[in-house]
């Protein structure tokens, strides 16, 4: 837990934050509305004897009373998909519409990409890309199990992604759920902080800046880009968004989020950030009994 001490000045009720980080995370699933309505999925869970509880902020997310959410009948048949509750936030904030062209830049293993497809009623195109070839098989498996026929899977480096393979030259929306130091996953991955170093933050933030920059470039004027991580480090969050504001044609926009959260930072150590970064969201584990996350919403301006 020692690396988390650096966040004591920015986290309200820091002791509650640490206590939450030390507690195991419960299991949650997302109802896959491509295959089943929420009512149908919950009926199946009841028939199977699996207890569940809905969450207030998203009717498609359920907390399950089982240690094996991926072993249920509803999961096997694609009615539900095991997905951490807070992990469902970025696609919800992106608000894709049926018929649009959407790019999930770092998509494997496919939880958010298939969520995007479901939000679009599986109509349109979701380009689910990942640079890690070893994770593509999981992405394809989940797309098939969940019946997401609108997905096109690609294996490329998002930092220099080319649209020449498509018959269009820009996306309507893009999701950058970036590779990160994963500090916010400590409740389900107790070894998440092993090997943590500020040097790694510098390394991974360079990748994040490249991916977010390319996402903005590949999205049409007036389109939306959502940037998210499952970490607390400002170097990977506000600093990355600030880099995009400084170098790309985009602006931060506000969004509604019914989960309890804290505003983004406008300063960290000796760095100062745009005041609009307060419109981003920091979700800490103790606020909603979830993992940790950061979410920012951008509008492309040119």
Neighbours of 57 (CB within 10 A): 16
What lies within 8 Å, CB to CB, of 190 at 6+ separation is: none
Map tokens 């699996």 to a residue.
Answer: 50
Q: Tell the residue number behind the tokens 């309200």, with chain if given.
A: 12
φ, ψ of residue 257 to 5 degrees: the values are -145, 115
Catalytic, out of 105, 180, 182, 230: 230
Those residues with Cβ within 8 angstroms of residue 137's Cβ, 6 or more apart along the chain or in another chain: none
CB atoms within 10 A of CB 213: 19
- As a whole number of angstroms, the distance between CA 174 and CA 48 comes to 37
What Å distances lie between residue 96 and 198, 275, 278, CA to CA? 35, 27, 23
CA distance 182 to 180: 5
| Residues placed in the known binding site for S-adenosyl-L-methionine | 106-112, 130, 157, 177
Question: From the annotation, which residues make up the binding site?
Answer: 106-112, 130, 157, 177
How many Cα atoms within 13 Å fall on the side-chain side of residue 78? Answer: 14
**Do residues 187 and 25 make contact, with C-beta atoms less than 8 angstroms apart?**
yes
> How far apart are the two ends of the chain, measured CA to CA in Å?
43
Q: Based on the residue annotation, tell me whether 182 is a catalytic residue of this protein.
A: no
The string of DSSP letters for 146-181 reads TT-TTEEEE-S-GGG---TTSS-S-EEEEEEE----
Q: Strands 271-272 and 281-283, how do they pair?
A: unpaired
Name the residues annotated as catalytic: 230
């Amino acid at each position: 837990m020692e690396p988390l001490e650096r966040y004591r000045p920015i986290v309200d009720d820091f002791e509650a934050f640490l206590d939450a980080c030390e507690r195991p995370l419960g299991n949650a699933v997302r109802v896959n509305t491509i295959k089943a309505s929420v009512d149908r999925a919950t009926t199946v869970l009841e028939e199977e004897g699996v207890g569940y509880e809905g969450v207030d902020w998203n009717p498609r997310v359920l907390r399950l009373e089982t240690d094996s959410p991926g072993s249920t009948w509803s999961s096997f048949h694609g009615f539900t998909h095991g997905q951490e509750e807070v992990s469902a936030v970025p696609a919800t904030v992106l608000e894709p519409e049926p018929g649009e062209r959407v790019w999930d830049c770092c998509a494997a293993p496919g939880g958010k990409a298939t969520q995007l497809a479901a939000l679009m009623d599986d109509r349109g195109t979701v380009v689910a890309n990942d640079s890690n070839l070893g994770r593509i098989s999981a992405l394809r498996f989940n797309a098939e199990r969940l019946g997401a026929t609108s997905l096109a899977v690609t294996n490329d480096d998002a930092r220099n992604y080319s649209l020449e393979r498509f018959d269009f030259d820009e996306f309507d929306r893009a999701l950058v759920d970036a590779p990160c130091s994963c500090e916010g996953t400590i409740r389900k991955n107790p070894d998440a902080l092993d090997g943590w170093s500020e040097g790694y933050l510098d390394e991974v933030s360079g990748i994040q800046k490249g991916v977010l920059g390319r996402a903005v470039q590949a999205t049409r004027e007036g389109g939306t880009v959502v940037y998210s991580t499952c970490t607390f480090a400002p170097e990977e969050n506000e600093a990355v968004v600030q880099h995009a504001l400084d170098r790309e044609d985009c602006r931060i926009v506000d969004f509604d989020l019914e989960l309890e959260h804290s505003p983004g930072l406008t300063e960290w150590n000796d760095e100062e950030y745009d005041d609009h970064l307060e419109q981003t969201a920091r979700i800490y584990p103790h606020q909603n009994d979830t993992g940790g996350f950061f979410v920012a919403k951008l509008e492309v301006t040119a």
